[in-house]
Amino acid sequence: MKNNRKVCIATILAVISSVAVFTNAKATGENNKDIVQFSNEIVAITPHSGETISIVHNGIEGMMSLNKLTVTDVGKYYYFRPEMQIWNDLSLTYYDTQEKVWDFYNKCDDFAPINNTLKWNYEQETDSYTVAVALDKEFKKVVFTDTVTTNWVNLGNTLYSGTDYYWQVIANDGEEKTYSKIFEFNTKVGTRTVDIDGVSNTRDVGGYQTPKGKTAQGLLYRTARLDDITEDGLKEIQKLGIKTDLDLRSVGEGAINPMGVENYVNATPAPIYTNGIATPEGKQAVKTIFQTLANRDNYPIALHCTVGRDRTGTAIALVNSILGVDEQTIVNEYMLSVFGAVSSFAKGSDALINNINNLMLYINTLEGETLAEKAETLLLDAGVTAEEIQSVRDIMLGDNYDNTVEYTTSYENTHLVTFKAYGHEQQILVVKGGDVVKAPYEIGEDFVWMANGKAYDFSTPVTENITIVATKKEIVTITVVIMGEETVIKATVGEMIDFTQFTKEGYTYKVMNAKGDIITSLTAEKNCVVTIIYSKN
């Protein structure tokens, strides 16, 4: 799918992930400043003169270095995410139409899945466009749809990380609809940032690998204070489906339930690292947090303090620990809050690194073989029950939050025709039942389009979903015996042979295969012999 890719990045506020590599960047200059790596290093690119902020960890020991950036510079850009447009010249294919589409190329896997723009150019006048993004190519699980008069849409917070998607544009001209082919893309595994207007340092806690699979996305969000949320921000809260405000601040530290959601829970005074967790007050806060997380009816949940860094970071580190997320990822995820507004620089990088290191070191002193077992020991000591801990695991290691939406565009009496050929991007076309389809590109004389084991007849009406594959031609011979004389026919495997070339004026003929069965036609599959018997009329 990456053939002939052309990438144009409009703005990069940052690229983040803790487990993958941004392969489009090249290592150049001193200290490889242009490279973006995500394994034991997190590098974020800001729009400030292309400089970088690096947070480097080696195990749980670490250091942080800042390159030519002031606190003010970084504080402006507290939503770390890319905004990009990727273009490729493809055809808007519906039967034999030749209109061109410029599509936002269907590969977002090198970027964090937020605020990506789908863009196209349809070279005919039309009333509007309907765009849909789905989890399946039948568009039964649509996660985004909009009808617009522009040639672009912004997907906002729709996409989950590490997920396969399908999308399509439909040109609406009165009652007539012209369907594009169905495009595919996938998002990179890693941190899913979230944009809520008026709120800083917001990201999804899910999407990380554990021994039992990835943690679920769309269920638990970590964020900073919600007091300054705007009307647009509240609309995003509704789209995300957030039902519970789990507030880790002290009473009187900020507004109560500014989102106006169903449930408001205050866990105060929340623990701050090892100097708070073991105290009676800290244990009570841990108990309140995990009792709230153990109730499936509370999800999706927004968990926050004021900056979304210290108290929130501690709580999320404990969550990820009991889920089985590896220690390095937990440390990296915690340190991402360095990019939040009024965040790490106000406190000092050394203090931040020491805090998360001390927390992980403390957990590792507890009873248990694995980090998850050690964290469970901590929670049990705080009064969280084993049943509550298991409930959190069941929820967060279960299914993603269902973010599908209603999609009313009718696919009645249409079928999906999928074309596959080596060296070409897979294409999925939507074809009206009873219409014929044309091959979207040439495959050369040495190949043939095959479907269901036979050469595909492009004059045949489409009546069902079908996959047509470009297959290298395989030649077989059919030996035709007529009154003891042999005629050899060469045919491509899958080709239909009807024997009409052996008609003889004044005679009727029958074709008999090697088994003695009378046949009227033959699909070429292997070398074989048939006999033709003539009868005078």
Are 441 and 90 contacting, i.e. CB atoms less than 8 angstroms apart? no
- Of the candidates 486, 502, 498, the one whose C-alpha atom is nearest the C-alpha of residue 523 is 498
Angle of CA points 317, 326, 350, to nearest 5°: 55
In whole angstroms, give the CA distance from residue 147 to residue 129: 5
Residue 120 C-beta-side C-alpha neighbours within 13 Å: 28
- Of the candidates 52, 14, 61, the one whose C-alpha atom is nearest the C-alpha of residue 328 is 61
Average pLDDT over residues 515-524: 89
pLDDT at 56: 32
Q: How confident is the model at residue 147 (pLDDT cuts 50, 70, 90)?
A: very high
The values of phi and psi at residue 178, to 5°, are -115, 120
Are 213 and 397 contacting, i.e. CB atoms less than 8 angstroms apart? yes
Global confidence as pTM = 0.70
- Of the candidates 203, 211, 201, the one whose C-alpha atom is nearest the C-alpha of residue 161 is 203
Complete DSSP assignment for 116-155: -EEE---SS--SEEEEEEESSTTSSSEEEEEEESSSEEE-
Any idea what DSSP says for residue 187? Answer: B
Residue 6 has pLDDT above 70, yes or no: no
Q: How confident is the model at residue 344 (pLDDT cuts 50, 70, 90)?
A: very low
* Residue 25, amino acid: A
Mean pLDDT check: name the lowest of 137-151, 278-292, 306-320, 493-507: 493-507
Q: How confident is the model at residue 103 (pLDDT cuts 50, 70, 90)?
A: very low
In whole angstroms, give the CA distance from residue 418 to residue 424: 12
Are 11 and 85 contacting, i.e. CB atoms less than 8 angstroms apart? no
As beta bridge partners, residue 6 has 87
Name the burial class of residue 177, with classes exposed (0-12), middle (13-18) and buried (19+) by CB atoms within 10 angstroms of its CB.
Answer: middle
The values of phi and psi at residue 215, to 5°, are -70, 145
pLDDT tens for each residue of 111-124? 334 566 777 777 78
- Of the candidates 439, 421, 423, the one whose C-alpha atom is nearest the C-alpha of residue 431 is 439
pLDDT at 72: 39
Residue 328 C-beta-side C-alpha neighbours within 13 Å: 14
In whole angstroms, give the CA distance from residue 509 to residue 372: 78
Number of Cβ within a 10 Å radius of residue 401: 19
pLDDT tens for each residue of 7-41? 221 211 222 222 222 222 222 222 222 222 222 23
User: How far is residue 226 CA from its own chain's centroid?
Assistant: 28
Reported as type and span, the H/E element at residue 394 is helix 386-396
pLDDT greater at residue 62 or residue 434: 434
Average pLDDT over residues 478-482: 93
- Of the candidates 312, 394, 405, 398, the one whose C-alpha atom is nearest the C-alpha of residue 359 is 312
Residue 51 has pLDDT above 60, yes or no: no
Residue 440 has pLDDT above 60, yes or no: yes
Domains detected in the chain: 83-186 (2.60.40.10), 203-396 (3.90.190.10), 414-471 (2.60.40.4270), 475-536 (3.10.20.90)
Mention every residue, 6+ apart, whose C-beta is less than 8 A from residue 202. Answer: 79, 193, 194, 195, 196, 221, 222, 223, 224, 308
Are 26 and 35 contacting, i.e. CB atoms less than 8 angstroms apart? yes
Residue 87 has pLDDT above 60, yes or no: no
Mention every residue, 6+ apart, whose C-beta is less than 8 A from residue 467. Answer: 417, 418, 420, 451
pLDDT at 410: 73
Average pLDDT over residues 347-374: 84
Average pLDDT over residues 324-346: 71
User: What value does the mean pLDDT of the chain take?
Assistant: 76
In whole angstroms, give the CA distance from residue 215 to residue 218: 10
Mean pLDDT check: name the lowest of 76-85, 282-291, 476-485: 76-85
pLDDT at 424: 86
pLDDT at 58: 28
Residue with tokens 């039948």: 138
pLDDT at 383: 96
Residue 530 has pLDDT above 60, yes or no: yes
The side-by-side arrangement of strands in the sheet containing 447-451 is 427-432, 414-420, 466-472, 447-451, 454-455
User: Tokens representing 56?
Assistant: 């480097």
In whole angstroms, give the CA distance from residue 127 to residue 135: 27
